């Protein structure tokens, strides 16, 4: 059976008129998968988390990039975004030393200093555009930690330009008529300008590194130093720039959206805020859990934010050959779509799934047998920056809440915007000194 998704008036607070989640839930209820037309493309939408794990892990070699949502990506087609599996693995290995736990632990003091500088510029009682501020903070953190050896003024200029690019990327429509309009020539002038300005400055930094062969620190230097068996450089300066743009943007747009939701939830629930502040104080004094250890309320809080508001809310793969997915035969070239937003709100895995309840993680462990919880993806192409993201989220959360109590302006409703990331449509919060 084939159904066609059409933009419709939002039926509830968190629905989008461009991608109506409640409609999708109704269409998929009781079905492991269903043939649908999504964004004008015939596809199979998969709701079963076991089958999603099959796609991403068990039989990932049978699936390549899908055709949907091409309009909103890609920033790069080399390195980790390459269709070539060997190239993808190679560039993951190049980035890995800068994103492993030992390296990220060393970044934490710098992360906290950067957050403190930005948050101290807010003025008591003046509404703050939280999404924009989270872009500024996350971009400053990523540039300040991953790109080393730059003059301070260059680091600041690079982070400001990356922030403008991230802000435009976050709001780029993925689906429906808005995306079609945004894809027209000249329609995304602000995005194009932001990308050009960031790439120009980044390219200049890369040129300086090429002229200073003694500089061997930082992620950019690692990309430039990549060579084959004969000692020839593998990537051109242009390709290094492309790969770095992709990595830096991916590391910021997702975290900025997650932090925006985190601060929104805290502004709505004083009991959650009180428990979080107490736990953050304990963790700051050295009583820290790691990874997904649910003994920490801070980690349970962030896990619940990521469950309800996964930044990468929808994904698409394409079958590379005829495959069997469960009891279903899919011919080569089939677009296969799944949504972490819907997987994370499945009542079979999460009772009362729309309720924000960090303590649910005291009795629920993310399953390795299925994909019922995949905020960072899963398998060989899961998010390489997951460890970095956890530390960055906690650092921002801790420093901001130490200094400010944030409240929502009266009578202002916050809507969900499923665009490049799942982010608040417009989130203005009023800071008051803690």
Phi, psi at residue 196, to the nearest 5°? -60, -45
- Dihedral sign, Cα of residue 248, residue 254, residue 255, residue 256: positive
Annotation: binding site: 383
Length of the chain: 434
In a domain, 22, yes or no: no
Question: Which letter does DSSP use for residue 379 in this model?
Answer: G
Q: What span, in angstroms and rounded, lies between the C-alpha atoms of 422 and 264?
A: 14
Round the average pLDDT of the chain to a whole number and report it: 86
State yes or no: cis peptide before 164, omega within 30 of 0.
no
The percent of residues in the chain predicted with pLDDT above 70, rounded, is: 86
- pLDDT single digits (tens) 248-266: 998 899 999 999 999 999 9
Helix 237-268, helix 189-210: angle, nearest 10: 130
Q: What span, in angstroms and rounded, lies between the C-alpha atoms of 299 and 305?
A: 10
Q: What span, in angstroms and rounded, lies between the C-alpha atoms of 285 and 394?
A: 14
Paired residues of 41 in beta bridges:
38
Q: What span, in angstroms and rounded, lies between the C-alpha atoms of 238 and 1?
A: 46
- pLDDT single digits (tens) 266-314: 999 999 999 999 999 999 887 665 555 678 999 999 999 999 999 999 8
- Terminus-to-terminus CA distance in the chain, angstroms? 56
Burial of 30 (0-12, 13-18, 19+ CB in 10 A): exposed
- Residue 404: how many other CB atoms lie within 10 Å: 20
- pLDDT single digits (tens) 107-133: 999 999 999 999 999 999 999 999 999
Contact 49, 370 (CB under 8 A): yes
Residue 113, both tokens: 């200093």
In a domain, 326, yes or no: no
pTM, 2 dp: 0.90
The percent of residues in the chain predicted with pLDDT above 90, rounded, is: 57
In a domain, 329, yes or no: no
In a domain, 7, yes or no: no
Residues 6+ apart with CB under 8 A from 409: 127, 428, 429, 430
Question: Which letter does DSSP use for residue 68 in this model?
Answer: T
- pLDDT single digits (tens) 180-236: 666 665 657 888 899 999 999 999 999 988 887 666 678 888 888 888 888 888 888
Annotation: binding site for heme: 383
- pLDDT single digits (tens) 144-176: 999 988 899 999 999 999 999 999 989 887 666
Paired residues of 406 in beta bridges:
431
Range of the domain at 157: 77-315+341-433
- pLDDT single digits (tens) 278-289: 999 999 887 665
Separate counts of helices (H) and strands (E) for the chain: 14, 13
Residue 275's CATH number: 1.10.630.10
Q: 277, 266, 71, 326: which is closest to 176 by C-alpha? A: 71
Helical ranges in 120-236 per DSSP H: 130-146, 152-170, 176-182, 189-210, 219-225
Q: What span, in angstroms and rounded, lies between the C-alpha atoms of 390 and 306?
A: 11
pLDDT at residue 4, as a whole number: 37
Q: What span, in angstroms and rounded, lies between the C-alpha atoms of 133 and 225?
A: 34
Contact 272, 300 (CB under 8 A): no
In a domain, 14, yes or no: no
Q: 112, 372, 397: which is closest to 261 by C-alpha? A: 397
In a domain, 191, yes or no: yes
In a domain, 39, yes or no: no
Paired residues of 405 in beta bridges:
432
Question: Which letter does DSSP use for residue 98 in this model?
Answer: G
In a domain, 179, yes or no: yes
Q: What span, in angstroms and rounded, lies between the C-alpha atoms of 412 and 214?
A: 54
Q: What span, in angstroms and rounded, lies between the C-alpha atoms of 159 and 3?
A: 44
Domains in the chain: how many in total?
Answer: 1
- Residue 133: how many other CB atoms lie within 10 Å: 22
């Amino acid at each position: 059976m084939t159904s066609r998704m059409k933009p419709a008036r939002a039926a509830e607070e968190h629905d989008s008129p461009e991608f109506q989640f409640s409609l999708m839930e109704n269409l998929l209820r009781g079905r492991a998968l269903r043939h649908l037309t999504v964004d004008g493309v015939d596809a199979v939408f998969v709701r079963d988390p076991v089958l999603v794990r099959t796609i991403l892990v068990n039989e990932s070699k049978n699936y390549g990039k899908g055709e949907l949502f091409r309009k909103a990506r890609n920033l790069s087609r080399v390195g980790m975004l390459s269709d070539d599996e060997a190239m993808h693995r190679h560039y993951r290995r190049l980035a890995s030393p800068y994103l492993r736990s030992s390296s990220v632990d060393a970044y934490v003091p710098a992360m906290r200093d950067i957050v403190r500088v930005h948050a101290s510029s807010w003025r008591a009682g003046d509404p703050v555009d939280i999404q924009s501020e989270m872009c500024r903070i996350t971009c400053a953190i990523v540039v300040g930690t991953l790109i080393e050896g730059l003059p301070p003024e260059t680091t600041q200029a690079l982070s400001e330009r990356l922030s403008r690019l991230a802000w435009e990327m976050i709001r780029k429509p993925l689906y429906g008529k808005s995306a079609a309009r945004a894809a027209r020539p000249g329609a995304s002038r602000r995005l194009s300008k932001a990308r050009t300005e960031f790439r120009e400055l980044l390219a200049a930094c890369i040129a300086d590194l090429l002229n200073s062969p003694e500089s061997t620190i930082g992620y950019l230097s690692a990309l430039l130093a990549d060579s084959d068996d004969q000692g020839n450089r593998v990537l051109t300066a242009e390709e290094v720039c492309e790969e770095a743009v992709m990595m830096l943007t991916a590391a910021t747009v997702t975290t900025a959206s997650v932090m925006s939701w985190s601060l929104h939830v805290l502004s709505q629930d004083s009991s959650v805020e009180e428990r979080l502040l107490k736990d953050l104080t304990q963790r700051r004094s050295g009583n820290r859990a790691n990874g997904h250890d649910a003994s920490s309320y801070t980690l349970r809080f962030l896990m619940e934010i990521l469950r309800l508001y996964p930044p990468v809310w929808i994904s698409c793969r394409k079958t590379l050959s005829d495959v069997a997915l469960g009891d279903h035969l899919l011919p080569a070239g089939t677009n296969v779509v799944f949504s972490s937003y819907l997987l994370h709100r499945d009542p079979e895995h999460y009772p009362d799934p729309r309720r924000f309840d960090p303590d649910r993680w005291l009795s629920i462990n993310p399953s390795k047998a299925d994909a019922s919880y995949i905020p960072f993806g899963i398998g060989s192409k899961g998010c390489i920056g997951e460890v970095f993201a956890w530390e960055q989220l906690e650092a921002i959360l801790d420093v901001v809440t130490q200094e400010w109590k944030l409240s929502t302006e009266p009578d202002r409703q916050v809507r969900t915007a499923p665009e490049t990331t799942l982010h608040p449509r417009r989130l203005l919060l009023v800071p008051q000194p803690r």
